[in-house]
Structure 1
Amino acid sequence: MKVLIVGGSGYVGSHLARHLLEQGHQVTVASRRGEGPLAGVRYVMADAAKDEGLQQAAQGQEALIYLVGIIRERGDQTFRQAHVEGVRHSLAAARAAGIRRFVHMSALGTARGTGSRYYETKAEGEELVQASGLDWTILRPSLIFGQGDEFFGGILKSLVTAPIPFIPQIGDGSFVFRPIWVGDVARAFEQALSRPHTFYRSYNLVGPKEYTFRELLLLVRDTLGSRKPLLPIPLALMDLVVPLISPLPYSPITLDQYLQLKMGNTADPVYMRNAFSLLERTLEVELPGILTTKRLVSA
């Protein structure tokens, strides 16, 4: 199948493009830079948020996968541009090019009324996809782990290795997560392309095991060989501090990330397992490699 990945030069996109190639698909990646490292992939320059280059990139394609997503707003890269306008423009480009198959990456926890602008704009993007008239599937991954990820290889690693004598823990650390391996995310997207029973459905993508936030911190700490103690930071204090530091360019956590952490991120894997054949690799297997790999930066 001829597959266009919009936003395919970043972390998830790089893994997905490689997996699609391995499965025999013809892959075009559209990104703002228009370049990438994978031999066999056709890279084109396009900006979904600004509706530049999409019409040309979509010509001759049979499926479009939309991966554009950000967890931190910077300059003109806003949640609305990435999660709503980019979706709107990509749907229009697909319709104009005669593409029927549209697979959309949302996020587990996406809903209206959460107070998180990330989730609110993701929900608005989902609504556009559902009303598109195309053969759509929406996939909502939990925290994604793998070489180059931002949460485990970035945020948690930074918390553990910060030059302070303790590891800050948000509240009692009881928030529950069910992280999923990036290889399984790639498999779910590839399988969705050719499985009609996934049309017009949304799936939560989760891993085989639940962890509390405290357990994740301890797992990263122990894997790095650190002995620093965890220090719980009361939520009442966090509620005051995070809104103040969130706008800073190098803030370790944004208000949206904080809200999402407090909500946790987990779901029942049964529905996902009935639809896809995944390996369900565990975090413990991948974490040593994640923590020694330089993170990928999306474009």
Structure 2
Amino acid sequence: MTGATGFVGKAVVTELLRRGYTVFAGSREGKGLPGAAGVKADVTSREGMLAAVGDVQPSAVIHLVGIIAEKGDQTFGKVHVEGTRNVLAALPAGARYVHMSALGADPASKSGYSSTKGQAEQLVRTSGAAYTIFEPSLIFGPGDDFFGRVLKNLVSQAPIVPQIGDGHFPFRPVSIQDVAAAFAGALERPETLGQTYQLTGPVQYSFRELLQLELRALGKRKPVVPVPLPLMNLAVPLMNMLPNPPITKDQYAMLLEGSTADPEPARRAFDLPMLNLEEELPKLLGKSAVDSGKAEKSSA
């Protein structure tokens, strides 16, 4: 598995081990995980990937590596497109291949992230590999970046909560447990060969509703103030001049596109639990359900 030490990788490794698989955890550093031996696997190096896979000779490869922001030579094209090309080149004959993409992946997207994810999907579909592709929406779970950092900072750092435009952009966040169950399940269901599944949760929210959920889960009461899109279009590039911008240009583009799809095909194919964001969010943010309930009542 590439990207095994990341947020999604750790959850998928845990689920595979629970099902009795032998797992080799690939990462640039070669660090292992509890129950999974580490393998040094840098997807941006074709020679490195050939060596890593050659040493293990796996019956399946799960490719999870992705970046949400470019840094130095780690560009979307290098990581998503060339990285996928290198992993496919190293894939043993007859091995199963499971690929992590993203909802909204499209070579024509204005987002560099979504565009390169779409290009990577094209490589997979034309590779001749025995593949299954997954396109998750926003993923929530312990240690996630969006709900645990980006949205948390957005609602916490100022006396008001800035809302992008009218806040109507739709999202269906999916739990990390559902994502891990789907990736592991693909190895056990031959009928999923050659298929692409969109991974979304049971409830659709607008961006404004996500902000309000985050506030309630944190026990905060603040006004949510719309920021006109023309102003956001000017502000986001300026924010990206900061060393650690609160929102990147690609994250902004993806928010405007929304992230939603019908959850039923994947739920039926993999018998997913379909955990609900509203029930899980207080636990993820370190707030008890009791605290969250009190905050909601006081806001009513």
Matches within 5 A, 1:103-142: 103-142=98-137
**Secondary structure at the residue paired with 1:89?**
helix
2:252 counterpart residue number: 258
Matches within 5 A, 1:1-299: 5-36=1-32, 38-59=33-54, 60-94=57-91, 97-162=92-157, 164-292=158-286
In 1, the alpha carbon distance for the partners of 2:176 and 2:201 equals 10
Structure 2 residue runs without a partner (length 5+): 288-300
**Secondary structure at the residue paired with 1:16?**
helix
> Over residues 211-230 of structure 1, what are the superposed CA-to-partner deviations in whole Å (9 max), with x where a residue is unaligned?
11111111111111111111
After TM superposition, give the deviation of residue 139 of structure 1 in Å: 0.4
**Alignment root-mean-square deviation, CA:** 1.3
* TM-score, length basis structure 2: 0.92
Contact 1:64 1:99 in 2 (8 A): no
> Over residues 245-282 of structure 1, what are the superposed CA-to-partner deviations in whole Å (9 max), with x where a residue is unaligned?
22432111111111110111100122222311100010
- Deviation above 4 Å: which 4+ runs of structure 1? none
In 2, the alpha carbon distance for the partners of 1:182 and 1:123 equals 22
Report the residue type matching 1:148 in the other structure: G
Report the residue type matching 1:27 in the other structure: V
Larger helix share, 1 or 2: 2
> Over residues 159-195 of structure 1, what are the superposed CA-to-partner deviations in whole Å (9 max), with x where a residue is unaligned?
1111x21111111111110000001000000011121
* TM-score, length basis structure 1: 0.92
Percent sequence identity over aligned pairs: 51
> 1:238–1:58: structure 2 CA closer, same or farther, 3 Å change rule?
same
In 1, the alpha carbon distance for the partners of 2:155 and 2:93 equals 49
Contact 2:46 2:89 in 1 (8 A): no
**Secondary structure at the residue paired with 1:48?**
coil
Name whichever of 230-239 and 140-149 sits farther off: 230-239
**Secondary structure at the residue paired with 1:68?**
coil
After TM superposition, give the deviation of residue 75 of structure 1 in Å: 1.2
Equivalenced residue count is: 285
Contact 1:247 1:254 in 2 (8 A): no
Structure 1 residue runs without a partner (length 5+): 294-299
After TM superposition, give the deviation of residue 239 of structure 1 in Å: 1.1
